[in-house]
Amino acid sequence: MRTEHDFLGEMNVSDNVYYGVQTMRAMENFHITGEHLDPDFIQAMAIVKKAAALANMETGRLDKKIGNALVQAASEIIDGQWLDQFPVDPIQGGAGTSVNMNMNEVLCNRALEIMGKEKGRYDLISPNNHANMAQSTNDVFPTSIKVCLSMKGKKLTAALKELETELDVKADEFKDVIKMGRTHLQDAVPITLGQEMGAYASAVARGRKRISRSLEGVHVINMGGTAVGTGLNAEPAYIKAVAAKLSMLTGDIYVTARNLIDMTNNTDIFAEVSGNMKATALMLIKMANDFRLMASGPRCGLNELKLPARQPGSSIMPGKVNPVMAEVLDQTCYQIIGNDMAISLGVENGQFELNVMEPVMAFNLFHSMQYLTNAVHAFVKYLLKGVKANKEACQSWVDHSVGIVTALLPHIGYERSSMLAKEAYATGRPIREIILEHGYLTKEQIDIILSPQEMTQPGIAGKEVLEETYLAQQKISG
């Protein structure tokens, strides 16, 4: 054991750990989630600390021997070492001070070890004087959140791009599968299954771009603003250098906010990122539910899609298979929506020069990004890549639908079309059969007018079909 002290007193700390007294106090105070800090967040904060040490050495304020040891310690954390040395609960009071000091203590004790000194010799390398030089929790913590969001955001947008691409593949695969479109859950007019898949791809692309645009805002940082954004204890040269060092270390461009006070006390960028994830989640719920409905049955539902069988669906009903991958995407998206509420409440609860609720924002932002990335990957891998169209069922719904009567309006008029629809509903007979019986159109004319191309892509069917349709129209009107 070693004895460490802060201004509240002394505590004994195991000599096997790199954290110190302030981390120990946080461990006593905060037993909230039962979780540990997100590893990406720990590494993001180590990147910020490494940038700060490099910037402080560049300005000449930080001794290079100490600075290089701190840089090496930070590099080890970035490479995945010592991640078990961050035991503080993610949700905590203090605006993230416990996390910042946890990092400072680990960096200092590892740096002391690198220099051949004993852990706890803060008279040589201090968590507050050296690891936290020209910094405050109030600029380090939000900047670390932003670096982590940038890291996780790349994975999320890549997952959404994969979903978009696979939906486009299915759009091409199913381009000739005609089916009934539905509005109000009622028969509407025909559409191809490929067109539906293409629409989902378009919506996913919009969600991906929406999230990407909001992530641009996380590259504006308040490093150097220190406690309230005024830059107390931070040299102007350091403020300029730390953004440059952070850009160099991450490969992304980070810029210092024009108004550091604003960037220190406002966290609306986190609401924007979360809100755009929520909007995307809402769209994904709609898509997943469409898949569930199209795969319903298989004997007593729509049965238009055949989903890959992932697991037995019931503990009591033999042979039952459920759309579990669509269901888990739904539930993940519900969680993102719930997380957004917590983030929103945190954002609006800042007072004066600081928002102390950043820990709960970070906790929920990181979970939302990780959960959504995982769920989208699973949906693509275990459902979308293996989904098949039931062409026969799709065509059967079209053949027995009254909705196709809409395609007849330009040819036989609204009144006749309404009469046909009424008779079809009353008798249950197919529209084609009733049209022929009344002699409104010939079989050849019906085949042209009700062709999949003409019903789903008017004018795309080709010159020959268009000419035949025109001749049919002339004959009917004559």
The 10s digit of each residue's pLDDT in 197-208 is 999 999 999 999
Q: Is residue 477 pLDDT above 70, yes or no?
A: no
> What are the extents of the domains in the chain?
2-133, 141-220+262-391, 402-477
Tell me which of 453 and 382 has the higher pLDDT: 382
Phi, psi of 3 (to 5 degrees): -105, 125
Question: What confidence category does residue 290 fall into, taking pLDDT thresholds of 50, 70 and 90?
Answer: very high
pLDDT computed for residue 461 by the predictor? 45
Share of the chain above pLDDT 70, in %: 96
Whether 2-133 and 402-477 share one fold: the answer is: no
CA 97-214-331 angle, to 5 degrees, is: 80
Alpha helices, DSSP H only, in 79-178? 97-114, 137-173
- Give the mean pLDDT of 232-237: 96
Q: Is residue 379 pLDDT above 80, yes or no?
A: yes
Q: Which helix H or strand E contains 91, and what residues bound it?
A: none
Q: Which helix H or strand E contains 225, and what residues bound it?
A: none
Question: Residue 38 gets which letter from DSSP?
Answer: -
Catalytic residue among 75, 136, 212, 314: 314
pLDDT computed for residue 450 by the predictor? 80
What are the tens digits of pLDDT across the range 30-44?
999 999 999 999 999
Question: What confidence category does residue 471 fall into, taking pLDDT thresholds of 50, 70 and 90?
Answer: low
What are the tens digits of pLDDT across the range 398-440?
888 888 888 888 888 899 989 988 998 899 888 888 989 998 8
Share of the chain above pLDDT 90, in %: 83
Q: In whole numbers, what is the pLDDT of the chain averaged over residues?
A: 94
Distance CA 120, CA 63 (A): 19
**CATH H superfamily, domain 141-220+262-391:** Fumarase/aspartase (Central domain) (1.20.200.10)
Give the chain's length.
478
Range name among 81-90, 236-245, 429-438 with the lowest pLDDT average: 429-438
Please identify which residue in the block is written with the tokens 């020959």: 464
Question: What confidence category does residue 317 fall into, taking pLDDT thresholds of 50, 70 and 90?
Answer: very high
Q: Which helix H or strand E contains 126, and what residues bound it?
A: none
Q: Is residue 12 pLDDT above 90, yes or no?
A: yes
Distance CA 449, CA 444 (A): 9
Known catalytic membership, residue 75: no
> Residue 73 is encoded by which pair of tokens?
């310690």
Distance CA 424, CA 282 (A): 37
- pTM for this one? 0.92
- Give the mean pLDDT of 450-460: 73
Tell me which of 459 and 397 has the higher pLDDT: 397
| Of residues 155, 157, 166, 158, the one with CA closest to residue 200 | 166
Range name among 141-155, 364-378, 425-439 with the lowest pLDDT average: 425-439
Alpha helices, DSSP H only, in 266-313? 268-294
Tell me which of 386 and 476 has the higher pLDDT: 386
Q: Is residue 158 pLDDT above 50, yes or no?
A: yes
Range name among 111-125, 256-270, 442-456 with the lowest pLDDT average: 442-456
Please say whether the dihedral angle defined by the alpha carbons of residues 289, 293, 294 and 296, taken in this order, is positive or negative: positive
Q: Is residue 462 pLDDT above 50, yes or no?
A: no
User: What is the fold, at CATH topology level, of the domain defined by 402-477?
Assistant: Ribonucleotide Reductase Protein R1; domain 1 (1.10.40)
Question: Residue 403 gets which letter from DSSP?
Answer: G
CA 146-149-152 angle, to 5 degrees, is: 155
Range name among 69-83, 141-155, 312-326 with the lowest pLDDT average: 312-326
The residue type found at 289 is N
Q: Is residue 458 pLDDT above 80, yes or no?
A: no
- Give the mean pLDDT of 103-131: 97
Architecture of domain 2-133: Orthogonal Bundle (1.10)
pLDDT computed for residue 464 by the predictor? 55
